[in-house]
């Protein structure tokens, strides 16, 4: 089969395209003919060799943990899905790749809504699951005000859309050049960095823009930029703050969710919820740029540089 792959660690230029043995669906899995795949932070870390998991993957390696396509093989024990159905989801977490190819095996998936574009579906998996787990853990619900620090990136932008779908008011931090993007997502944009607490308080006189915007009930740190002390000050308690990216969080009493969250036990439900919200026109996956798989190196380079405004996706057919 056709596949994006690398046989050594390094910059995006180590990515090539060529032939690779086809995978097959095992028990509880489905194989899809891939239409689109996402480029996630874990893909960049593995390709560059910066990931602690680099020694777990044999080379050559196909990057990509998120994909969408049409089922063409159904593994033993799978019910409710058949060949020919359109789905989106994630590969087995232990494999750490395999999505950027002609065929991919999914371990977790949901039916793709007809109105969801392939690029959005292909890039959705881990970001949707990570954001859903984070919002669940924080207890984000209708009427609360959530501050997302690092709101313009892949996980942050998805968290913004999912939180708004729950009825929450959202404030999002980003670079000034990404503020218009956050406003389009439905968040109240604010610059990140020192002085964040004062800037958030300054939003208080504008209830018509976002009721309760001056009061922050909960905070989600996606950026890992050292903002936890300010987020604690803004919410009033470490218990109201969760970080996905700052491993010093527990020292401050802040909840820490390592890595992608999607690999945690307890099952995955974010994909099905996102699909249902998409069908209701209440959710979409923000996609910044789409590349054909033959230009995977350019896609990885784009994902690594800022400013990020949503996800980067690969499509099999340009």
Hey, is 125 helix, strand or coil? helix
| pLDDT value for 95 | 85
Q: What is the pLDDT of residue 266?
A: 42
Cα(92)–Cα(175) distance, rounded to whole angstroms? 34
pLDDT for position 264: 47
Q: By CB neighbour count within 10 A (0-12 exposed, 13-18 middle, 19+ buried), where does 182 fall?
A: buried
Name the residue among 168, 88, 97 with its Cα closest to residue 125.
88
What is the residue-level pLDDT of the chain in tens, covering all 318 positions? 999 999 999 999 999 999 999 999 999 999 999 999 999 988 999 999 998 889 989 999 999 999 999 999 999 999 999 999 999 999 987 888 999 999 999 999 999 999 999 999 999 999 999 999 999 999 999 999 999 999 999 999 999 999 999 999 999 999 999 999 999 999 999 998 888 988 988 875 444 445 544 589 999 999 888 889 999 999 999 999 999 988 777 777 787 765 443 444 444 689 999 999 999 999 999 999 999 999 999 999 999 987 778 999 999 876
pLDDT at site 258: 54
What's the rounded Cα separation, in Å, for the pair 52 and 34?
Answer: 28
**Predicted pLDDT of residue 201:** 83
pLDDT given at position 318: 61
d(CA 18, CA 136): 41
Are 128 and 270 in contact by the 8 Å Cβ rule? The answer is yes
In the chain the domains, ranked by start, together with CATH numbers, are 2-127+267-315 (3.90.180.10), 130-256 (3.90.180.10)
Per-residue model confidence (pLDDT) at position 263:
44
């Amino acid at each position: 089969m056709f596949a994006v792959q690398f046989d050594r660690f390094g910059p995006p230029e180590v990515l090539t395209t060529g032939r690779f043995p086809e995978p097959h669906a095992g028990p509880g899995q489905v194989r899809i003919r891939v239409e689109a795949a996402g480029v996630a932070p874990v893909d960049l870390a593995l390709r560059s060799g910066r990931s602690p998991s680099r020694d777990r993957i044999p080379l050559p390696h196909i990057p990509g943990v998120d994909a969408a396509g049409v089922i063409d093989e159904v593994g033993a024990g799978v019910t409710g899905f058949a060949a020919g159905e359109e789905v989106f989801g994630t590969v087995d977490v232990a494999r750490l790749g395999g999505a950027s190819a002609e065929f991919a095996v999914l371990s977790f998936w949901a039916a793709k809504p007809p109105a969801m574009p392939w690029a959005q579906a292909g890039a959705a998996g881990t970001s949707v699951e990570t954001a859903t787990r984070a919002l669940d853990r924080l207890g984000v619900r209708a009427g609360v005000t959530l501050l997302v620090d690092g709101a313009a990136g892949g996980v942050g932008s998805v968290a913004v859309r999912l939180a708004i779908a729950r009825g929450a008011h959202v404030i999002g931090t980003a670079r000034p050049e990404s503020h218009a993007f956050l406003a389009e997502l439905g968040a109240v944009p604010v610059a990140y960095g020192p002085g964040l607490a004062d800037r958030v308080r300054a939003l208080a006189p504008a209830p018509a823009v976002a009721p309760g915007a001056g009061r922050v009930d909960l905070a989600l740190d996606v950026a890992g930029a050292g903002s936890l002390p300010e987020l604690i000050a803004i919410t009033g308690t470490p218990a109201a703050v969760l970080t996905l990216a700052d491993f010093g969080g527990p020292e401050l009493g802040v909840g820490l969710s390592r890595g992608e969250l999607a690999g945690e036990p307890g099952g995955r439900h974010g994909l099905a919820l996102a699909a249902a919200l998409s069908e209701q026109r209440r959710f979409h996956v923000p996609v910044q740029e789409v590349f054909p798989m033959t230009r995977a190196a350019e896609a990885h380079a784009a994902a690594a540089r800022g400013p990020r405004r949503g996800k980067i996706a690969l499509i099999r057919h340009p």
